[in-house]
Amino acid sequence: MSYSRISVLEARLLLESHGDAGVQIVDVRDEQAYQHEHIPHAVHVDNNNLQNFIDNADLGVPLLVYCYHGHISQGAASYLNEQGFNQAYSLDGGYEAWKTY
């Protein structure tokens, strides 16, 4: 299986149906943007902590990846899917779409 692109509405429904702890949320924007604001319960992942995140994550729990506008998160979701995440999703429109929804 490969990753899927989902809309903000689909992402919100995914989070709602699985609860706060039922979806892993990954923010791949820069640290400063993450510190300024992010989706609740999201973790910041970059090249410095990527392997640690993979090693400690539950591969069976859905994974939502987002960036600024939804482009970089596609590559990240694809990579994480290749690392064993069964349900990897890239947020179309990224954080910009999320905060204006």
The set of catalytic residues is 67
Q: How many CA atoms lie within 13 A of 21 on its CB side?
A: 0
| C-alpha–C-alpha distance, residues 22 and 41, integer Å | 11
Q: Is the dihedral of CA 52, 43, 12, 93 positive or negative?
A: negative
